[in-house]
Structure 1
Amino acid sequence: MTAGLFMKQLSIGFSPCPNDTYIFCALVNGKIPLSGWSLQPAVLEDVETLNEWAMHGRLDITKLSFHALGHVLDDYVLLHSGAALGRGCGPLLVAGRQVAPGAFAGMTVAIPGKYTTAAMLLNLYAPSWKKIVMMRFDDIMPAIESGKVDCGVIIHESRFTYRGRGLELIVDLGAWWEKISGHPIPLGGIVARRSLGTDLIGKIDRAVKASVLWAQQNSGLCRPYIKEYAQELDDLVINEHIGLYVNSFSENLGEEGLAAVEFFLQKGRQAGMFPASQQPSLVIP
């Protein structure tokens, strides 16, 4: 019996957005050597679906929103690599017309899921907002245009296309967060199941970083895989998306990135959005 039969095969999930398919292109397409473990075919799903799956511990390795991370720290540990975190890249509150903050209470707003970072930021920015509708991120702009909702919090590619659809920016929630916190905005990260153990989680973390570096050196080779799943196929939109959401924090969160995540989770706990974790560590050593 060969050693390969004893290789641990791990489940993995991430979103179809260009930053995730760019980051994971090499890893899931056999470009990164793996020792002692392998991957099942990747599952690509909307981030809120991944958030909900994380609540039930469905995947070994998964992308999730940092809001969702606050609910699953007892079961998952954050990797140093693969995150979407930065400045000038946060969720946007948009509408079909300009709206004053005083009018929020009587308006219906769409958010891209209960456990998204967008939902947490909106709650912190306007905690009195009651008429909230949850829907997939790619359904929000059409819902505003049709009058189903008054406004919505948009993420991903939508931030590059909303003006072309005649929508108006009400508030940049990421810029608001940066102003009140002094930190970059943590959007989403990659986590691994704690029960996998420190040694294997370390290998996974290094493999994700190697995948990021491979993509940076072979961006053209990633393009067919990215376009297979992208909502917006325009090369300019894809380039802007990757350029905004993939940065030095994606290679390694580092001290600044980890401090931003810790502060974000602290604010969420203070607002009663999720409980304190029993685990002493956010990331592996």
Structure 2
Amino acid sequence: YGPMIVSTRAYSQDEIKRKRIAVPGKLTTAYLVLNLFAPGIETEVVPFDQIIPKIKLGNFEAGLIIHEGQLTYDRSGLYRIVDLGKWWHQVTGLPLPLGGNAIRRSLGPELMASVSNALRKSIEYALDHRAEALAYALQFARDLDPQLADKFVGMYVNERTLDYGPDGREAVRRLLDMGYQAGIITQPARVDFV
């Protein structure tokens, strides 16, 4: 699974590459993968929670959705044109790395390790106390019932959140390298996992 291109019409993947797409931002994994899928595609940045309404109003022929929109787009009568997570996996054989934390090397190894450890403990606590963590997160859910929110959280907060694993680390490196090779990322990226 991953970011999805959705529309009010069932466009083919080739047709969608010629449409103007609402995107949630240009500094996102979703945008990077969209541009790997469809180099040069026309896009316009729209707040992520306004993409589906703007598609329904006819302001855009399609949109790139992230977050809970991946689970609710069909309620709005939209068609999924492509799941970019599945596309990425077909192309690379790797999971699509979504949502990560970065820290500046200049902070030094001790502080980097301390921050990483604090994040890990927080995530472990949430995984070990899922019902409590979900009840807290529901305060911020947009139109998600508890069952759908639980499904969404399970997609994005899991054991891979604690450790990408070898294939996940390779996926991060490959994504950044492909983005650089395609000219989407302006400088080569070196990633160290803390």
Pair 216,168 (structure 1): closer, same or farther in 2 beyond 3 Å: same
SS in 1 for 2:102: strand
Indicate the residue corresponding to 2:96 in structure 1.
185
Equivalent of 1:258 in 154, 163, 169: 169
Indicate the residue corresponding to 1:115 in structure 2.
27
Indicate the residue corresponding to 1:153 in structure 2.
64
Indicate the residue corresponding to 1:142 in structure 2.
53
Distance 1:121 1:263 in 2: 11
Residue 95 (1) aligns with residue 7 (2): yes
> Higher RCO, 1 or 2 (CA under 8 Å, sep at least 6)?
1
Indicate the residue corresponding to 2:106 in structure 1.
195
Residue 236 (1) aligns with residue 147 (2): yes
Instruction: Return the offset for 1:178.
Output: 0.3
SS in 2 for 1:170: strand
Q: Does the 8 A contact of 1:232 with 1:238 survive in 2?
A: no
Normalising by the residue count of structure 1, what TM-score does the alignment of the two structures yield? 0.64
SS in 2 for 1:171: strand
Q: What is the percentage of aligned positions where both structures have the same residue?
A: 36
Higher helix share: 2
Distance 1:268 1:106 in 2: 20
Instruction: Return the offset for 1:281.
Output: 4.7
Instruction: Return the offset for 1:159.
Output: 0.7
Pair 255,163 (structure 1): closer, same or farther in 2 beyond 3 Å: same
* Structure 1, unaligned runs of 5 or more: 1-88
Pair 206,106 (structure 1): closer, same or farther in 2 beyond 3 Å: closer
Instruction: Return the offset for 1:128.
Output: 3.6
Residue 205 (1) aligns with residue 116 (2): yes
Distance 1:110 1:281 in 2: 30
What's the Cα RMSD here?
A: 1.6
Q: 1:122 is aligned with what amino acid?
A: L
Q: Does the 8 A contact of 1:94 with 1:154 survive in 2?
A: yes
Paired residues in the alignment total 193
SS in 2 for 1:90: coil
Indicate the residue corresponding to 2:156 in structure 1.
245
Indicate the residue corresponding to 2:192 in structure 1.
282
Q: Does the 8 A contact of 2:173 with 2:191 survive in 1?
A: no
Higher strand share: 1
SS in 1 for 2:103: strand
Normalising by the residue count of structure 2, what TM-score does the alignment of the two structures yield? 0.92
Residue by residue over 1:66-110, the C-alpha shift from the partner in whole angstroms, topping out at 9 and shown as x without a partner, is: xxxxxxxxxxxxxxxxxxxxxxx2111110010123433552211
Q: 1:133 is aligned with what amino acid?
A: E
SS in 1 for 2:44: strand
Q: 1:115 is aligned with what amino acid?
A: L
Instruction: Return the offset for 1:255.
Output: 1.8
Instruction: Return the offset for 1:228.
Output: 2.3
Larger of the two Rg values belongs to structure: 1
Q: 2:20 is aligned with what amino acid?
A: T
SS in 1 for 2:100: strand
Distance 1:256 1:172 in 2: 20
SS in 2 for 1:186: coil
Residue by residue over 1:177-210, the C-alpha shift from the partner in whole angstroms, topping out at 9 and shown as x without a partner, is: 0000010001120112322210111111112111
